[in-house]
Amino acid sequence: MSASTGSRGTGVAGQPGWFGEFGGQFVPETLIPALDELTEAWADARGDPGFHRTLEDSLAHYVGRPTPLYRARRLGADLGLGLWLKREDLCHTGAHKINNTVGQALLARRMHKARIIAETGAGQHGVATATACALLDFECAVYMGEEDMRRQALNVERMELLGAEVIPVSSGSRTLKDATSEAIRDWVTNVDTTHYIIGSVVGPAPYPGLVRDLQRVIGDETVRQLAEGDTRPDAIFACVGGGSNAIGIFTPFIEHNRALGATGTAGRRDARARETGGSDQASGRVKAGGSDQAGGSDQAGRVELVGVEAAGHGLDTGRHSASLTAGEPGVLHGNYSFLLQDDDGQVIPAHSVSAGLDYPGVGPEHAWLKETGQVRYESVTDGEAIAAFQDLCRLEGLIPALESAHALAGLRREAGRWAGRNVVICLSGRGDKDVEEVARLLDRGGS
C-alpha cells in the first residue's frame, strides 16, 4: 500500500510530507525556508553513519536504551491474557519523549543552531528538551500553558533546574494547543538562530516523519525482544495524544502487517475500496474468512494495532481529546489531520485528565492509518484511565503516567477479546508527575 493510492486525489498525495491526503506544510511563509533546511538536514543526517553512531551511543549510555520489555504476570492474570509492557517509563527523564529530543538536539547541532525552543503539555517533553539542551549546551526556552503549569508544577521545577526558561502561556485554553502556537510564533521570530523541537508526530512536514523516525526505536526494540522470547504478539496498545509513542511502537508492526498484505479489519469503507482496488490482497498470504470480532489476529501473523485516545468526561459531553474518534479533518499547527473543531472551523479546546493527551489535533500519519484501517482507534474516559492507573500501581508496583494509563484502560475494556493471547502495551512514561493530581481527583471522588 502506498500513500499515493488515495482515492481522493489531492495533487500532492505520495509526495514527501504527506500521508495520503493528510500532512502538509500549512505555515506562515517565513517558516518555509526553515522547514526546507530541516528536511535537508534530516535527510543528510539519516544517511550519515557518524550521526547514527552518536545517536545510538547517547540512547544506550545516556537515555538507558534498550528499555526492558517486561512481562506483567499479575496484571496479565487479572486480565486473563499474556501482557508485556514496553518500559519507556525507564528512559532517563521518565518517558519516551527523550528519544526524540536527544535526536533533534543532535540534529540542531549539525545545523549550527544556538537556541532550542519547545512546547510542553504534561511537562515530559519540556523536561526531555531541557535535558538534551543541558547535555549538548543549548540555550533553551519551553512554552507551557498556565493551566498545565499548575497541574505539573514538579516538571516546571525540573526544567528550571536543568537551566531552561519556562515561559507561561496565558492565551486561549492555556494548555498544550496554545503552548504550541506560542512556540511556533517564537520560531517565526527567531528562525535564524533557533531550532524548534516539536514533541510529537504533529506540526508541519518534516516533523511528523522526523519524530516518527526517532521514536520507532521503541517498536524496533519490541520486535527484537519479542523474538528473543519467542513470543508472537497478537495486539499492541498505545495511548494517542499527538501520537508519538504510538507511532514509535506501531511503525515496525505496520511494516510487518503491510508485508503480509493484511487488510485492516477496522478499515473504513474507502480504505477497503483502496485495498480491493490495489494489488495487496493478490499475494494470497492472508487467510480469508477471519471474523472481525476476533480483532483480526486470526489473519495469519497480523498484529492488531490499537491507539487509545482520551475521552475525558465522555465523548457525548464535548469535554474530551479524542480527535480521531470524534473530530473532523482540518488544519491546525501546520498540518491537515483530524481535529476537534466547530461548524465554523474554529478549534475546540480539548480536555483530558492527562495533560499530555490534552490536544485537539493528532499526528497526520495517524489520520491516514485510521482512514486506511491499519490502526484501530478507541477512547477511554478520565475515570477509566484513573482506574487503570490504580490497577498497575497495586498489581505490578508500577506508577504509570496518566497518558499511558489510557492504553491500559483501552485494553481492560476489551480484555475478553484478547483472552489467552499476547498483548503489548507501550508504557510511555512514569507517573510520579501525576501522583498529586490523581490524589486530588480520588479525594474529590470520595474513594
Q: Is 446 exposed, middle or buried (0-12, 13-18, 19+ CB in 10 A)?
A: exposed
Give me the least distance between CB of 6 and other proteins, in Å please.
10
Q: Which of 88, 119, 309, 384 is catalytic?
A: 119
- The DSSP result for 389-421, as a single string, is HHHHHHHHS--B-HHHHHHHHHHHHTGGGGTTS
Number of residues lying near other proteins (CB under 8 A): 44
Closer of 185 and 232 to other proteins (Cβ): 185
d(CA 395, CA 76): 9
Catalytic annotation present for 371: no
Cα 397 to Cα 75, 112, 392, distances in angstroms: 10, 44, 7
Contact between 372 and other proteins by CB under 8 A: the answer reads: no
Please, which of residues 179-208 interact with other proteins by CB under 8 A? Answer: 181, 184-185, 188-192
Indicate whether 341 belongs to the interface with other proteins (CB under 8 A).
yes
Taking the complex as a whole, the smallest distance from the CB of residue 29 to other proteins amounts, in Å, to 4
State the nearest-atom distance from the C-beta of 186 to other proteins, in Å: 9
The verdict on whether 119 is a catalytic residue reads yes
Scanning 97-105, 125-133, 177-185, 220-228 for contacts with other proteins by CB under 8 A, the matching segment is 177-185
Instruction: Out of 138, 143, 336, 377, point to the residue binding other proteins (CB under 8 A).
Output: 336
> Catalytic one among 97, 113, 370, 433?
97
Give the SS3 label for residue 356. Answer: helix
In the complex, what is the shortest distance from the CB of residue 243 to other proteins, in angstroms, rounded to a whole number? 19
Residue type, 277: G
Asked if 247 and 375 count as a contact pair (C-beta separation under 8 A), the reply is: no
Spatial distance between the Cα atoms of 133 and 105, rounded to a whole number of angstroms: 7
Rg (CA), the chain: 20
What's the closest the beta carbon of residue 9 comes to other proteins, in angstroms?
A: 8
- Structural element, H or E, at residue 52: helix 49-58
Give the integer Cα–Cα distance in Å for 156 and 166.
7
Which listed residue (297, 321, 428, 433) is catalytic? 428
Label the pairing between strands 304-312 and 235-239.
parallel
Least Å distance, CB 392 to other proteins, is 35
3-class DSSP state for residue 341?
strand
Query: Which residues between 19 and 38 bind other proteins (CB under 8 A)?
Result: 21-22, 24-34
Binding other proteins by CB under 8 A: which of 292, 316, 344, 443? 344
Active-site residue, 428 included: yes
Q: Considering the rule CB under 8 A, would residue 316 count as an interface residue with other proteins?
A: no
> Which residues are marked as active site?
97, 119, 428
Q: Which residues contribute to the site for other proteins (CB under 8 A)?
A: 8-12, 21-22, 24-34, 171-172, 177-178, 181, 184-185, 188-192, 329-334, 336, 339, 341, 343-347
